[in-house]
Amino acid sequence: MIRTIPTHPFDGQKPGTSGLRKPVKVFQQPNYTENFIQAVFDAVPPPGGATLVIGGDGRFYNRPVIQQAIRMAAANGYARVLVGQGGILSTPAASHVIRKYGAAGGLILSASHNPGGPDADFGIKYNIANGGPAPESVTEAIHARTQTIDRWLTMDAPDIDLDTQGTAQVGAMRVEVIDPVADYAALMESLFDFPAIRAAVAGGFTMAFDAMHAVTGPYAQAILEDRLGFPRGTVRNGVPLEDFGGYHPDPNLVHAKALYDLMMGPDAPDFGAASDGDGDRNLIIGRGRFITPSDSLAMLAANATYAPGYAQGLKGIARSMPTSAAADRVAAEWGLPCHETPTGWKFFGTLLDAGMATICGEESAGTGSDHVREKDGLWAVLLWLNVLAARRISVDALARDHWARFGRNYYARHDYEAIDTTAANRLMAELEQRLDTLPGTAFGPLRVAAADSFSYTDPVDHAVSRNQGIRVLFDGGSRIVFRLSGTGTQGATLRVYLERFEPADGALDTDTAIMLADLATAADAIAGIARHTGRTAPDVVT
Ligand code: G16
């Protein structure tokens, strides 16, 4: 029987860069989670016979929310729910399942790389029928509904056994508990030259993959160890835990330091990689060589045709605005279109659907292609493995070869976390007011060529997104970008992105911090970071 539960709106249920992300304790308030899910169902009513995909990264609070979402989906008229066994579906696997089974959409329960556990974070993302994150028009409709909501719908039904594959009935709705790995692993096998990678492994190629006790563990074991022949133990921290073992599942040089130290040490394997909470981010480190996400995008784009799935060539490349222009140089040489979008994978969806881009990437450790509509951590790892096996080259040699051909975009992101929101907003507002006066001004050896606030008009649906970050461009191609993060859950996070281009005959193997020192000094002078925030150094440099 369908039951109608009265409720009142909550403030602050506005999806950010990637869904609604809040502390678990916020989601645990009575009606809070249900209000948001009902707002999704009200904003995007299911068509007749619709399928909904539900899964998550295995973090604390996933299971009760999955059970509740199943009952609510039945009460709201869905005909079928596909849910990953154990409640598990990585974000890219969920995207694939939505596409493969023609679902109307999906709920992905994850706060991505944010820590998990009763005192940490939780999140809910809604993906649309193309498998990608809901575009702004949909997230705005969801937010609007959260502000007027007065009831949510559910059914009296017992919990589903999430741990056993099979089917169950909730009212008129069928629930299928599916293998979370099988469809995704088959998709990867269709894109990449598994025999070539297997041959490299048999020939002694070694790797370490850090799953960070998050969702990619089962996927990485099934693909890397079972199918590609890497020895057991190649996947480290492979069991998903509700609190990620107490770690911060963000695959960067700070939180994946153990992997970094291994890769820089005397016993480094040939290849090191990691993924995040929900499996959409990636970290790539060769023996003795870290590859920035921006460079990884450019290097993968330049070499993608070594993989069978991309042998016909690329239709175009897309990157988020703060991502370095390294990929633009590959696109220019190959005569490919290159699109610059705001931060957020959702902005790639229309380009991928329209066949305007094949490979997309972001500085925030995200790379992916038109095989799904999310960024995909293991996909990036497998494309790297395919390229290395086909070219019989090391990561370091590939990077040097790339820079010698295209030049090098030295790049770093400085994050100032949990700063006072008012101070952060004031910093950005002041910066915006100075935009007109900045051009022509010198900061040490750097002279400002142009400065603006990034605005984007989607070339497919013509949607306009304003205020997507402040860009300060210098003579010679160096750049500083200032942005406030849309994924933090405490105060504000200021991101400062520094980039300097060195041509192919320039200094290609110098320390990044040294190459970017003038830009870091200029960033503080331009934005008054210390003055506004009281911080004299970033919390995280990636
Ligand atoms: C999310 C989005 C990405 C975005 C990243 C950083 O990643 O999906 O597109 O680049 O956040 O966003 P921000 O700079 O606003 O914090 P994830 O992996 O957290 O879902």
pLDDT (tens digit per residue) in 391-405: 999 999 999 999 999
The model's pLDDT over 86-120, given as tens digits with 9 standing for 90+, comes to 999 999 999 999 999 999 999 999 999 999 999 99
279 in contact with ligand 1, CB cutoff 6 A: no
- Dist. CA 225–CA 229, nearest whole Å: 5
Q: Which run of H or E residues covers position 63?
A: helix 62-75
Burial of residue 106 (CB within 10 Å: 0-12, 13-18, 19+) is: buried
Smallest CA separation from ligand 1 atom 6, residue: 364
Nearest atom within ligand 1 for CA of residue 495? 14
Q: Are 127 and 139 in contact, with CB atoms under 8 Å apart?
A: no
Distance 487 CA to ligand 1 centre (A): 6
Output the CA–CA distances (angstroms, integers) from residue 172 to 70, 129, 167, in the order listed: 12, 22, 13
The model's pLDDT over 154-173, given as tens digits with 9 standing for 90+, comes to 999 999 999 999 999 999 99
Helix or strand or coil: residue 180? coil
- Out of 127, 215, 345, 470, give the residue to mutate to test ligand 1, the one with the largest number of ligand atoms within 8 Å of its CB: 345
Q: What is the largest CA-CA distance in the chain?
A: 72
Please report the domains of the chain, with CATH numbers, ordered by start residue.
Answer: 2-180 (3.40.120.10), 184-406 (3.40.120.10), 408-541 (3.30.310.50)
What are residue 451's DSSP bridge partners? 472
pLDDT of 119: 96
Nearest atom within ligand 1 for CA of residue 486? 15
- Using 50, 70 and 90 to split pLDDT, how confident is the model at 490? confident
- Out of 364, 413, 540, give the residue to mutate to test ligand 1, the one with the largest number of ligand atoms within 8 Å of its CB: 364
343 in contact with ligand 1, CB cutoff 6 A: yes
Which of 18, 90, 95, 112 is an active site residue? 112
Nearest alpha carbon to residue 377 among 57, 34, 44: 57
Percent of the chain with pLDDT over 70: 100
Output the CA–CA distances (angstroms, integers) from residue 400 to 81, 266, 304, 509, in the order listed: 48, 21, 17, 8
- Out of 122, 362, 372, give the residue to mutate to test ligand 1, the one with the largest number of ligand atoms within 8 Å of its CB: 362
Q: Which run of H or E residues covers position 360?
A: strand 359-362
Percentages helix, strand, coil for the chain (3-state, rounded to 5) are 35, 25, 40
Contacting residues for 112 by C-beta, under 8 A, at least 6 apart: 18, 21, 57, 91, 123, 276, 277, 278, 280, 281, 487
The model's pLDDT over 380-439, given as tens digits with 9 standing for 90+, comes to 999 999 999 999 999 999 999 999 999 999 999 999 999 999 999 999 999 999 999 999
Q: What is the mean pLDDT of residues 71-86?
A: 98
Position 298 pLDDT exceeds 90? yes
Distance 44 CA to ligand 1 centre (A): 23
Distance 413 CA to ligand 1 centre (A): 14
The model's pLDDT over 173-206, given as tens digits with 9 standing for 90+, comes to 999 999 999 999 999 999 999 999 999 999 999 9
Distance 495 CA to ligand 1 centre (A): 12
Output the CA–CA distances (angstroms, integers) from residue 349 to 48, 56, 275, 458, in the order listed: 25, 21, 22, 10
The model's pLDDT over 215-249, given as tens digits with 9 standing for 90+, comes to 999 999 999 999 999 999 999 999 999 999 999 99
pLDDT of 104: 98
Smallest CA separation from ligand 1 atom 13, residue: 485
114 in contact with ligand 1, CB cutoff 6 A: no
Task: Give CA torsion, residues 157, 159, 163, 169, to 10 deg.
Answer: 0
Nearest atom within ligand 1 for CA of residue 362? 10
Whether 394 sits among the annotated catalytic residues: the reply is no
- Using 50, 70 and 90 to split pLDDT, how confident is the model at 538? very high
The model's pLDDT over 115-136, given as tens digits with 9 standing for 90+, comes to 999 999 999 999 999 999 999 9
Q: What is the mean pLDDT of residues 517-523?
A: 97
In this structure, how many other beta carbons lie within 10 angstroms of the beta carbon of residue 405? 12
The model's pLDDT over 329-346, given as tens digits with 9 standing for 90+, comes to 999 999 999 999 999 998
- Using 50, 70 and 90 to split pLDDT, how confident is the model at 487? confident
373: phi then psi, degrees, rounded to nearest 5: -120, 30
465 in contact with ligand 1, CB cutoff 6 A: no
pTM: 0.96
Distance 59 CA to ligand 1 centre (A): 18
In this structure, how many other beta carbons lie within 10 angstroms of the beta carbon of residue 87? 25
- Dist. CA 464–CA 456, nearest whole Å: 6
pLDDT of 17: 82
Q: What is the mean pLDDT of residues 348-372?
A: 97
In this structure, how many other beta carbons lie within 10 angstroms of the beta carbon of residue 246? 11
- Using 50, 70 and 90 to split pLDDT, how confident is the model at 18? confident
Mean pLDDT for all residues in the chain:
97
